[in-house]
Structure 1
Amino acid sequence: MIRSRTCILSLCSLVIGTSMLMGCGSDSQPTPPSTTYSISGKVTPTAAESVEGVVVTIGSRKDTTDQNGAWSLSGFEQGAYTISPAKTGNTFTPPTRAVTVTSADVTGQDFVIAGDVVVPAHPEMIAVQPGTFMMGG
């Protein structure tokens, strides 16, 4: 009988304790979603270079410039980032750009493209006498 009473009291204590814990709430507000920003710019030519098709990379995000050289990437939280442009056969000034996103979109991240590589339509061929040409060291 005493054992039965102890078991019932323990069970009641457990039910009351669980009910009290379930009734406890939190006054804290849920964390709002983080705000993200965009980074944009333009690629301009030094001469007659094409500004279309330049791949601009920031972290794992990439965009390709349009026919006017414009590009834009979004989804960046506050922080520091490095922007890198690339197009086969070209160089860029500056080669990369460091940018810090604070509390607004970042614009004006511009680059200048130079040096289209010209590949001749017909490569020049030369004749070499057998046994007179050594390649390597």
Structure 2
Amino acid sequence: MTMDAKRIEIVSQSDVHAVAFAEESQVVGGHANGDIRRWKIEDGQQHGPTMQAGSSAVDSVAVSKDGQWLVSGDRGSNAIVWNAVTHEKVHELTKHGNWVSGIDISSDSTKIASGDYGNARHQQNVGNLVIA
């Protein structure tokens, strides 16, 4: 089976360290400069404002199944929960002793799983996240 794939190039001003789909029509990227950006797949244009995790590289991103939440992990040992609709920082998870190298959010949006370069794995119950 052969597929003809259409390539859409998304140009960024900073190296992209992590990507995740946000809905079928968008992709989220974590950048070396601490930015988190969301792009439309159709035309490669940025969607919404840039989220700033800090000055450390963002090495992991994930989006909740319902598209309401985004989680990021960075080299400043931070795991952050974002409102994916308003792009506002909602909660910061603080138990990491090293770079957050991987992160995910449960399908019901109640738990965050993350790992860091210090061989630690974390799970944090964030309860029912509700957009106000």
Which TM-score band applies after superposition, normalised by the shorter structure?
under 0.3
* Higher percent of residues as helix: 1
TM-score by length of 2: 0.27
TM-score by length of 1: 0.26
Larger Rg, first or second structure (1 or 2)? 1
* Higher percent of residues as strand: 2
Higher relative contact order (CA 8 A, sep 6+): 1
